[in-house]
Amino acid sequence: MEPLSAIEITGRILYQLAPVWVSLLILFIFSMSFKRRLGLYGKLFDSPIGMIGFGMVMFWVFTGIYGAMDMIVTHDPLNQISGMKNKAPGTAIRGAEEGTYQWYLLGGDNLARDVFSRLIKGAWVVVQIAPLATIFAFMVGITLGLPAGYYGGKLDTFISFLANLILAFPVILLFYLLVTPEIVATGVPNYMAIVLFMFPIIFITVLLNSRYYTRPKLRNPLLAGVLVLAIWLYLQLVSNSGYLVNTADFAIWGLPQVLDFFDIPGGILVVFVSVVFVNSPTVFRIVRGLTLDIKTRDYVAAAQTRGEGPWYIMLWEILPNARGPLIVDFCLRIGYTTILLGTLGFFGLGLPPESPDWGSTINDGRKLLSVYLHPAMAPAFALLTLVLGLNLLADGLREESLKD
């Protein structure tokens, strides 16, 4: 069969991405028609930059989700087809069987795997980890930053010192220290996961308790229900096949496997923990700064006079009023997390070597870059557009939230 021309490749890729286009179209039409009723999200559609950014981000989100459901991919991302090593984009597969896709749309990589399918599958790795890791980092940062800013004093000095300690660490050195197999074998990342994942539970508990503690009849069942669910999820997250920590000479029992419905593969857990760990001090500093600023406002003084508890003031008076800058930073931080994930992949840390994530693929492709461009260029542009989209989105949000 003949190789495809550039126009045919583009056409076929666009066709392959059809579900994404449809979803994007529906999302945009829906959002545009209800934009006056959707608050800050709706206002985003008043700013062209924000809209472009949002479109780019949602493109990759949909691509990742549909890719995970095997809708867009043309081949198995790990499958090697002989004769397709380093082949140019649009090369037809020789002697392809019935029912398989006839071409490698973006060519083959140095192990004769399909670059296009790996690209799509790589999007899922990012879409899975980056937002979730950023949410966890925000939980940690908020739970520590609010009291540090509100109470000040020794507590503030101590937590700020710890945060500066982590910030003074060159990120790559930290990754190398945390993510090497020897360190993973000692269970250090598991301990860190146990501590870091505790913060969302603390956050939710304090959030609900401070609001409803005057109404024990509502609070007790609510808190009990939420806590049981949260702790169950937490234990599922941190325990792997029945153990919290399982090293050669030491083990801590965790959740029995009967109750454990999902296991996070070791590599992903380590990557996740280290990304959260690196991001949370920065979030802490932002939240602390905002708290210091907002706690001098009149409505905080009013709440204090009313006799509200400190945690109520922090979580229900200060935090909602700090949401603007926090949402903007959230978008930027997802972008930064994506870059960090790429960096980890680039140095071959954490994720398994055959993983289709963009950083690893760029690292594989760069070795042959002077001859074959496509294996490295495709993920490079993917990462670029996603991070650019997030930055533009943050910019649009900042502009729109300043208009109020």
| 156 touches another protein by CB under 8 A | no
| Residue closest to 74 by CA, chosen among 131, 27, 114 | 114
| 371 touches another protein by CB under 8 A | yes
Bridge partners (DSSP) of residue 103 are: 92
Are 327 and 401 in contact by the 8 Å Cβ rule? The answer is yes
Whole-Å CA distances, 396 to 27, 54, 253, 381, 384: 18, 9, 48, 22, 18
| Residue closest to 271 by CA, chosen among 338, 332, 335 | 338
Tell me which of 188, 222, 230, 268 binds another protein, using CB under 8 A. Answer: 188
| 38 touches another protein by CB under 8 A | no
Are 90 and 103 in contact by the 8 Å Cβ rule? The answer is yes
Judged by beta carbon, residue 329 or residue 395, the one nearer another protein is 395
| 171 touches another protein by CB under 8 A | yes
Judged by beta carbon, residue 253 or residue 381, the one nearer another protein is 381
CB of 180 to another protein, least distance (A): 7
What are the start-end ranges of the H helices in 76-215? Answer: 115-151, 153-167, 171-179, 181-186, 188-196, 198-212
| 343 touches another protein by CB under 8 A | yes
**Which part of the chain contacts another protein (CB under 8 A), choosing from 10-18, 141-149, 190-198, 366-374?**
366-374
Cα gap 243→257, rounded to integer Å: 9
Amino acid at 1: M
**Which part of the chain contacts another protein (CB under 8 A), choosing from 66-74, 131-139, 319-327, 341-349?**
341-349
| Residue closest to 22 by CA, chosen among 33, 11, 14, 10 | 14
Phi then psi for residue 119, to 5 deg, are -60, -45
Number of residues located near another protein, criterion CB under 8 A: 48
Summarize the chain as % helix, strand, coil (round to 5).
70, 5, 25
Helix (H, G, I), strand (E, B) or coil at 78: coil
CB of 167 to another protein, least distance (A): 8
Q: Which x/- pattern, by CB under 8 A, does the window 300-339 give for another protein?
A: -----------------------------------x---x
DSSP assignment string, 188-201:
HHHHHHHHHTHHHH
Cβ-based burial of 222 (10 A; exposed 0-12, middle 13-18, buried ≥19): middle
Amino acid at 13: I
Q: Which x/- pattern, by CB under 8 A, does the window 42-71 give for another protein?
A: -------x----------------------
| Residue closest to 175 by CA, chosen among 266, 283, 277 | 277
Tell me which of 82, 296, 305, 370 binds another protein, using CB under 8 A. Answer: 370
**Which part of the chain contacts another protein (CB under 8 A), choosing from 2-10, 12-20, 310-318, 355-363?**
355-363
Tell me which of 25, 185, 224, 259 binds another protein, using CB under 8 A. Answer: 185
Phi then psi for residue 92, to 5 deg, are -80, 145
Q: What is the CA radius of gyration of the chain?
A: 24
Judged by beta carbon, residue 147 or residue 359, the one nearer another protein is 359
| 183 touches another protein by CB under 8 A | yes
| 186 touches another protein by CB under 8 A | yes
Tell me which of 130, 270, 392, 397 binds another protein, using CB under 8 A. Answer: 392
Judged by beta carbon, residue 176 or residue 299, the one nearer another protein is 176
CB of 276 to another protein, least distance (A): 17
CB of 373 to another protein, least distance (A): 5
CB of 312 to another protein, least distance (A): 34
List residues binding another protein (CB under 8 A).
49, 161, 164-165, 167-173, 176-178, 180, 182-183, 185-186, 188, 335, 339, 342-343, 346-347, 359, 362-363, 365-366, 369-373, 376-377, 380-381, 383-384, 387-388, 390-392, 395
